[in-house]
Amino acid sequence: IYSVSIDLKIEVCELTFYFPGLESHIPKYLIDCDKLLLCGTEKGAVVWNPCLRQSRWIEQDLNQTRMEAYGIGYNNKGSYKIVAGCCWKEHPTKSLWTIHDFASNAWKDLELDSGNRKLDSGISKEEKRPILHNKSTGVSLNGNLYWITFYDKTDPVYNLYKFNYSSEKFFRFCDLPCGTTDYLKDALVLKVFEGDRFSLLKQCHATKKIEVWVSKYKINNNLDSEDVEWIKFMEVSSPNLPDLVDPRYSQPSYFIEDKGS
């Protein structure tokens, strides 16, 4: 654990991570939304309510050969849904996007072709499709899902892509404040800050330098694209810092205490 300042009053408590029936499956990533925790596996997903100690299996459709749950959120009616990538038996080489509705316990295909981890957001064919930086970077804010994406290795700007669970569409939401020197190795971690803003941590693979930004204003849930203003919150430079992100596991958590707010 690395900390810029130490608060001895902070107590670390252990919360037992228990999903009945998950013993034979390996969790691939974890995404939280409104006190719910989505655990993605190779054979489906589990949603866990740690407060009520309740869990629910989300099984893939019988016609799906593969299903990976990428995030959880809810629409403007408060109905929870999961967005996932899948392959169907009739199209085994084609990756598609699908939604699972908690209320109906049914799957619904989206009219989108992800095409080898690429998002088709309804943009014109002349535009390049963004590529997910990492599926485990999905973050839920105000019920909507956000991912870190980039277009190609010649573009020095990362972007946030948004999936709106009410309209069931993808949108390019905003640019991120950090450039990159290595798309595949630089660590990027997106988190929610103070309940209605974003924070972004970047660690350069070469120098190990850590930078943290926060969005200056709260995120408007009614907008599908926004000119977000970012503020650099802190920077830590030391060549002896370890790599914070291991690509084999889910994104790490970090906590910000803004004493000036």
Q: What is the pLDDT of residue 45?
A: 82
Q: DSSP state, 242?
A: P
Which positions ≥6 away from 105 have C-beta within 8 Å? none
Q: Average pLDDT, stretch 245-258?
A: 63
Instruction: Flag whether pLDDT at 113 surpasses 50.
Output: no
Strand partners, 73: 81
Instruction: Flag whether pLDDT at 178 surpasses 50.
Output: yes
pTM, two decimal places: 0.78
What is the Cα–Cα distance from 211 to 260, expressed in whole angstroms? Answer: 19
29-43, 125-139, 140-154: range with lowest mean pLDDT: 125-139
11-20, 39-48, 207-216: range with lowest mean pLDDT: 11-20
- 27: tokens are 């969790």
Instruction: Give the CA angle between residues 37, 38, 40 to the nearest 5°.
Output: 145
The domains of the chain are located at 29-183
Q: What is the pLDDT of residue 81?
A: 93
HSE of 123, CA atoms in CB hemisphere, 13 A: 15
Q: What is the pLDDT of residue 255?
A: 67
Q: What is the pLDDT of residue 220?
A: 83
CATH level 3 topology of 29-183 = Lipocalin (2.40.128)
